[in-house]
Amino acid sequence: MEKRKIEVCFTPALLPLYHIENAIVVVIDIFRATSSICYGIANGAEAIIPVATVEQCKAYESEGFLLAAEREGEIVEGFDFGNSPFAYTADKVKGKTVVLTTTNGTHAIDESKKTAFQVIIGSFLNLDAVCNYLRNQNKDVFLLCAGWKNKFNLEDSLFAGAVVHQLNHDDYFLDDSGIAAADLYRQAQDDLIAYTAKTSHSERLKKLGIEEDIRFCLNVNIIDSIPVLKENRLVKL
Amino acid sequence: MEKRKIEVCFTPALLPLYHIENAIVVVIDIFRATSSICYGIANGAEAIIPVATVEQCKAYESEGFLLAAEREGEIVEGFDFGNSPFAYTADKVKGKTVVLTTTNGTHAIDESKKTAFQVIIGSFLNLDAVCNYLRNQNKDVFLLCAGWKNKFNLEDSLFAGAVVHQLNHDDYFLDDSGIAAADLYRQAQDDLIAYTAKTSHSERLKKLGIEEDIRFCLNVNIIDSIPVLKENRLVKL
């Protein structure tokens, strides 16, 4: 294999600066979209369809799908559920198709699918599965943090750092954001919950009463499947 | 004083996401534009005029100013000098006005001046001076990393982290990028030269034969003045 590169993009706003035609893009929105997507697919959801807007989500009403919409951390009125991972358990999603729109995560999927070689979904829940898959493909790696409204956020960057940290032994070219993310992860890895509790985002989520969600999203390697985007549907790889 | 906030913006590309009307903006381009600007002003340059383009720089030819232009790390052909700090010693710049355009730094100044309350210039050379000044103003702090062609870079982020680290005791609100930058700085502070040697940017600069410049730009607190933007000219605060 030629020496591959890993790039870390801290927010979708910076995506236009990169060339991702030869890269597998890992979309990262730890609190909570991509954690919930990974959990739902692992729990047997047939597909999760990410859409950019609440209106697009509503348009699927007649198809008998589960509709999930989150904005500003809360379930949008009139929807079955939002992006809490506890809404993606087997008893709720097994064999079903979920249509999902969220503040940051589905936007990042939408932006990257236009040019990426492939789009997969990462979270701490399936960290090792993601790393093992990337290691075995002869492709560049592009870690796309969904961030918070196009700004940098800590938890997504930490997960990007975890991937860089694991793949680094395989001698990839790293960019500066990859170096920074991996160093942050090494500081945080012994206690991800304590580390991410420092963030303003985490404060905001606490106010929403979803601390249990947050703790759940920081579980490492509890599932071993990976959602992959195929024709606008996320399915098990 | 009301509780103020510190925000760290990792690249000028993200500037439109922020409101900086009530903030003192610190523009940061450690390798090498803002280090050289700080050094030049400390060494008695009357003013340094940052301009966005090489053409704008050339337009000052008839005024008897020193003209400095850098692109891709090298002096642009036909110019007196670029942005090596060693071109900003007292024997070269004392009493003189320098017109300067660089790949990243002058772009960041240009973008921020449109709406900021005030624009000052930071570097490791005048770290304490910058922090002391910010501490004594009743203003928010906005640390603007020039980055590399609108991407994140490590050395600018480290300096932002150094400022956050120092001001943090004064109980500012921090954003996630500020938390990350300060943690990176705490990892790097004992040996900034070794830490920044990891970066791709540093590799590139080495190839340009300017390792001495890099080492110089990582000197901490060797000057105590601050350049401030007044009517498009950087002068001593």
Alpha helices in chain A (DSSP H): 33-42, 54-58, 90-93, 105-112, 127-135, 154-167, 176-188, 192-196, 200-207, 211-217
Of A13, A175, A201, the CB nearest to B13: A13
Q: Do B151 and A199 touch (CB under 8 A)?
A: no
Give yes or no for a contact between B227 and B42, defined as CB atoms under 8 angstroms apart: no
CA-CA distance, B178 to A36, in Å (whole number)?
A: 28
Of the candidates A81, A3, A9, which has an alpha carbon nearest to the alpha carbon of residue A39?
A81
Q: In Å, how far is A17's CA from the nearest CA of chain B?
A: 8
Phi first, then psi, for residue A10 (nearest 5°) are -75, -20
CA-CA distance, B119 to B149, in Å (whole number)?
A: 20
Which chain A residues are closer than 8 Å to B175 by Cβ? Answer: 151-152, 200
CA-CA distance, A70 to A213, in Å (whole number)?
A: 14
By three-state DSSP, how is residue B176 classified? helix
Under-50 pLDDT residues of chain A? none
The confidence score (pLDDT) of residue B171 equals: 80
Q: Do B14 and A17 touch (CB under 8 A)?
A: no
Res. B1: pLDDT tops 70: no
Select the more confidently predicted residue: B72 or B99. Answer: B99
| Structure-token match 């232009």, residue found | B69
Phi first, then psi, for residue A94 (nearest 5°) are -55, 125
Within 10 Å of residue B209's Cβ, how many Cβ atoms?
10
The confidence score (pLDDT) of residue A202 equals: 65
CB pairs under 8 A between A and B: 76
CA-CA distance, A123 to A201, in Å (whole number)?
A: 17
- The H or E element spanning position B140 is strand B140-145
Give yes or no for a contact between B112 and B121, defined as CB atoms under 8 angstroms apart: no
pLDDT by residue (tens digit) across B49-61? 999 899 999 999 8
Give yes or no for a contact between A117 and A23, defined as CB atoms under 8 angstroms apart: yes
Select the more confidently predicted residue: B154 or B72. Answer: B154
By three-state DSSP, how is residue A5 classified? strand
CA-CA distance, A161 to A187, in Å (whole number)?
A: 10
Q: Do B176 and A201 touch (CB under 8 A)?
A: yes
pTM of the model: 0.95
pLDDT by residue (tens digit) across B75-117? 999 898 888 999 999 999 999 999 999 888 888 998 899 999 9
pLDDT band at B198 (very low <50, low <70, confident <90, very high): confident
Of the candidates B33, B9, B61, which has an alpha carbon nearest to the alpha carbon of residue B180?
B9
| Structure-token match 């699918």, residue found | A113
The confidence score (pLDDT) of residue B202 equals: 65
The confidence score (pLDDT) of residue A200 equals: 66
The confidence score (pLDDT) of residue B200 equals: 66
Any idea where the domains of chain B sit in the sequence? 5-236
Q: Do B176 and A154 touch (CB under 8 A)?
A: yes
pLDDT band at B134 (very low <50, low <70, confident <90, very high): very high
Alpha helices in A95-199 (DSSP H): 105-112, 127-135, 154-167, 176-188, 192-196
Of the candidates A73, A60, A65, which has an alpha carbon nearest to the alpha carbon of residue A29?
A73
The confidence score (pLDDT) of residue B208 equals: 72
pLDDT by residue (tens digit) across B151-179? 999 999 999 999 999 998 778 999 999 99
CATH code for residues A5-236: 3.90.1560.10
> In whole numbers, what is the pLDDT of chain B averaged over residues?
93
CA-CA distance, A97 to A216, in Å (whole number)?
A: 23
Of A173, A187, A199, the CB nearest to B187: A187
CA-CA distance, A83 to A208, in Å (whole number)?
A: 13
Of the candidates A49, A29, A213, which has an alpha carbon nearest to the alpha carbon of residue A105?
A29
